[in-house]
Amino acid sequence: MEDIVLVGPLAHPALRTALGIAGGQDLTLTGRLVGGRWAGIRAGGWPRVVDGEEPLAAVRVRATAKLERYAAVMGLAPVDVPGLYLPGVQVLGAATGDANGEEDGHEKDGHENDGAWQADLAAAIAGHIATQPEGRSPDRIAARLPMIAGWCASRLRGRDRPRRRDGLDYRSLAVTEPYAAWFAMEEHDFQPRLHAGGWADPVHRGVFVSGDAAVVLPWDPVRDRVMVVEQFRAGPAARLDPDPFVLEPIAGRIDAGEGPEETMLREAVEEAGVTIRELIPAPHHYPTPGIAAEYIYAYVGIADLPDGCAGIGGLPEEGEDIRGILMTRSELTQAALTGRIVNGPLLILALWLDREAGALRARHPAAAG
């Protein structure tokens, strides 16, 4: 293995630790980094090196197999940077460009300056990539990068939930990932504390991994009506249900680097053409905690729902054909109570809104009309 110089986010101690890179020689180069908001989080998110007189921190390290594999997954290649010449050494962690680099590639999405680079998330993704089975090719891992990033982001959100006060906790003894396509399956060995005290015997469990999701039920408090959506669902069809066209709230997976509320504002427009004025948190929950790691952030969204606003939405390139349906709040409650609604998150939102509508009008100006 040869030496290589890491710059920008790739030189961050958290990423180096995740990739098992110890030590290194600190360097100060000359130049300027442009972009990098999504470095290590989304494909193509790495910064560019452009001309400049600013000091540029870097670290010279010995290349490792893990680092080379990570670079292959992320589409990074060693580059020669004019003005940063080091005999026999190339730079990794950035692309070369000119002063207009801000306008290139991923910078065009308009989100580059929305916030700081998320080192903890990038490090979690790097650590996940580093533990992938050796026989899994970089191309195959790269194809799953959005799902890997979403799963790592959900683990960080899960880690930050409040701890119990009674001392009940668990030990994680081992984890493997025997299956990974669009979604993944992990096998875990856990050892939970017993309610009566002491430790239980280790248990082996399979967990379906999909990352976190968010749902929103648009509600027009003036007209006291809601919009639900209907679409074909593979789960009921696989169960041989003759009616796999399911009434649901608007829903979407939370992209890495995105929050659940941002996801819902975007998905409401994509799926139903609805602009949400205010998001009101409803009960967040695990829908099937015995077998799945999915956590759902649930909201009621204050919106204007006039006659004729329900149509056909979704993204055809993602195989979506989504029909919006307007109904009164009382019709929604009746549908929940009579079994017409079989989608768990919509059941929760329907019954919660039936109970809370009056209080919501009092507490939230946007719900008062």
Q: Which residues contact 34 (CB under 8 A, 6 or more apart)?
A: 47, 48, 49, 50, 97, 101, 102, 107
pLDDT at 263: 96
pLDDT(79) > 80: yes
pLDDT at 50: 82
Active site residue 68: no
DSSP states along 182-224: SSEEEEEEEEEBPTTSSBPPPEEEEEEE---EEEEEEEETTTT
pLDDT(135) > 80: yes
Nearest 5°: phi and psi at 344? -60, -50
> Which member of 187, 318, 320, 356 is catalytic?
318
Tokens read off for 322: 């989504």
pLDDT at 112: 42
Average pLDDT of every residue of the chain: 89
Superfamily for domain range 213-368: Nucleoside Triphosphate Pyrophosphohydrolase (3.90.79.10)
Q: Confidence class of residue 148 from pLDDT cuts 50, 70 and 90?
A: very high
Mean pLDDT value across residues 17-23: 92
Convert the pLDDT of each residue in 83-95 to its tens digit. Answer: 665 666 788 998 7
Distance of CA 185 to the CA centre of its chain: 17
Convert the pLDDT of each residue in 303-341 to its tens digit. Answer: 999 999 988 888 788 778 899 999 999 999 999 999 999
Tokens read off for 127: 């650590």
Convert the pLDDT of each residue in 252-275 to its tens digit. Answer: 999 998 999 999 999 999 999 999
Burial of 113 (0-12, 13-18, 19+ CB in 10 A): exposed
Mean pLDDT value across residues 66-78: 93
Q: What are the residue boundaries of the structural domains of the chain, listed by start?
A: 3-118, 144-209, 213-368
Convert the pLDDT of each residue in 213-264 to its tens digit. Answer: 999 999 999 999 999 999 999 999 999 999 999 999 999 999 998 999 999 9
Tokens read off for 226: 């809601």
| Pairwise CA distance, residues 86 & 30, whole Å | 12
| Pairwise CA distance, residues 203 & 191, whole Å | 6
Mean pLDDT value across residues 101-127: 66
pLDDT at 104: 40
| Pairwise CA distance, residues 361 & 369, whole Å | 8
